[in-house]
Amino acid sequence: MTTPVSHEREQSPLLQRIAEDYHCVLQHYAEHGDPFRSFRARAIEELYRLGIPTVRHEEWKYTNLYTLLNKGFTIAATDVHDSDISAITKEFERWGHVAVVQNGIFAASVSEQAVSLKEAAASDPILLSKVGSLATIENNAIVAWNAAFSSDGVAIKQKEAEPVEPLVLVSVVDASENNCMVHERHIVDIAPGASATLVLVQRSRGEGHALLNQVLEGWIGENASLTVLVIQDAASNSHTITTHEFDIARSGRLLMVSVSIGGGFVRNMPAARLSGEGADARLYGLTIADGTMLVDHHTTVDHRVPHSTSDELYKAILDERSTGVFNGKIYVRPKAQKTSAYQANRNIVLSPRATINTKPQLEIFADDVRCTHGCTVGKLDGEALFYLQARGLSKKQAEALLLTAFAGEIIGKIPYESIRSEMLARVEHLLHSDELA
């Protein structure tokens, strides 16, 4: 299913640089106790073998990682000044309990559920064995890169069945001195019958470019449910590559809503593995891009057992010179009869210089299934615009209204009223402002 990338070990200066960085951090990690040591060694070998993917790699055909990496990133300093954490905590406490990870190191948490992954893994061999077992390093250079460099993150364990406040996980990247790259890793474990909500946000400091390579592995137990909201609204010098992989047990539920309205280079790779009967995955995403923004969603839904369901809807509004990419894969394994999978991708292109590349993909090995995907690319409906203009709205107002309605379908999937109305207001503001449309 994955195509191997070419060997570029010898010729790539990038890999040489990564090797140098690796030796630096390895020493540093060793001094501070490193529970991931052997995993790290395997990961760097895999990364050397694979190389950093180029556009010749099928999964990176439309997203040139090198335009980003050529900016030159240094691996984040591991010594962190936690001066501004209280400000960050304050900014997000309206949404729930805040946990902060700064330059890849667990910094603060107001919730007992969220603890430092490094510390938890050092004393918990079961947790340690879970690291890298879902988002595997094999044939995945980005995950291998993360595994070689990440030293910490958050471990979230949800045991209680009672609903609790959302946990807001803020990743801070400090790029005040130079362009900075951070690898962080999180583990989420939802016990059977429990439910939890996770909000992921990113903030960067300073004028330099900040790149976050985030890997999150989540296990959703039987009858458990997890809601993940990914709010990508950072400034244009913030860049994100996320790998969020979930395993869903019998009758488990995953709801994931991504709102990508900010950042420079955004690549999301959410994956849901439906490994228990009755498991359900819902992935939704909204992209509003302008400037030279690039937002790329590569989703994978893997139906492994009979009677599982999935639903995906990704929408994008692209203006100016922005680029949108969507690649949705649905696998239905030979035994996964009675699967029901739905996937839709809808795009509106507003500017002659914006680009959309989309590839909805089905790979089906079972016959008693119902799988559909649909994809559209277009402009706003002329008749709808005329209708609104005939009722006294200006063209701009009419456009903004229609675009807001288009975007609102995704925002409406957010199950928390406070976050939903705030995001809707922000989307409206974005679409009504003169910069767009």
Contact footprint for another protein (CB under 8 A): 3, 58, 62, 334, 337, 347, 349-379
Shortest distance, CB of residue 371 to another protein, whole angstroms?
4
Cα 330 from Cα 224, distance rounded (Å): 23
Cα 100 from Cα 122, distance rounded (Å): 20
Q: b vs e for 319-355, b when ≥16 Cβ sit within 10 Å of the residue's Cβ?
A: bbbbbbbbbbbbbbbeebeebbbbbbbbbbbbeeebe
Shortest distance, CB of residue 294 to another protein, whole angstroms?
14
Phi then psi for residue 217, to 5 deg, are: -115, 130
Identify which of residues 13 and 352 has a Cβ nearer to another protein in the complex: 352
Identify which of residues 74 and 292 has a Cβ nearer to another protein in the complex: 292
Cα 391 from Cα 275, distance rounded (Å): 52
Shortest distance, CB of residue 381 to another protein, whole angstroms?
10
Q: How far is CA 235 from CA 206, 264, 293, 352, 361, in A?
A: 11, 7, 10, 24, 32
Identify which of residues 45 and 58 has a Cβ nearer to another protein in the complex: 58
Shortest distance, CB of residue 4 to another protein, whole angstroms?
10
Query: Hey, is 210 helix, strand or coil?
Result: strand
The single-letter code of the amino acid at 35 is P
Shortest distance, CB of residue 49 to another protein, whole angstroms?
18
Shortest distance, CB of residue 370 to another protein, whole angstroms?
5
Q: b vs e for 281-299, b when ≥16 Cβ sit within 10 Å of the residue's Cβ?
A: bbbbbbbbbbeebbbbbbb
Phi then psi for residue 87, to 5 deg, are: -65, -40
Cα 403 from Cα 380, distance rounded (Å): 8
Shortest distance, CB of residue 1 to another protein, whole angstroms?
10
Within 13 Å of residue 416, how many CA atoms lie on the same side as its CB?
23
Identify which of residues 175 and 317 has a Cβ nearer to another protein in the complex: 317
Shortest distance, CB of residue 271 to another protein, whole angstroms?
18
Could you tell me whether strands 225-232 and 253-260 are parallel, antiparallel, or unpaired per DSSP bridges?
parallel
Shortest distance, CB of residue 61 to another protein, whole angstroms?
8
Cα 45 from Cα 42, distance rounded (Å): 5
Shortest distance, CB of residue 63 to another protein, whole angstroms?
13
What's the farthest any 2 CA atoms get from each other in the chain? 71
Identify which of residues 116 and 347 has a Cβ nearer to another protein in the complex: 347
**Residue 196 · residue 223 · CB < 8 Å:** no
Radius of gyration of the chain (CA): 21
Within 13 Å of residue 129, how many CA atoms lie on the same side as its CB?
3
Q: How far is CA 53 from CA 72, 230, 274, in A?
A: 16, 25, 28
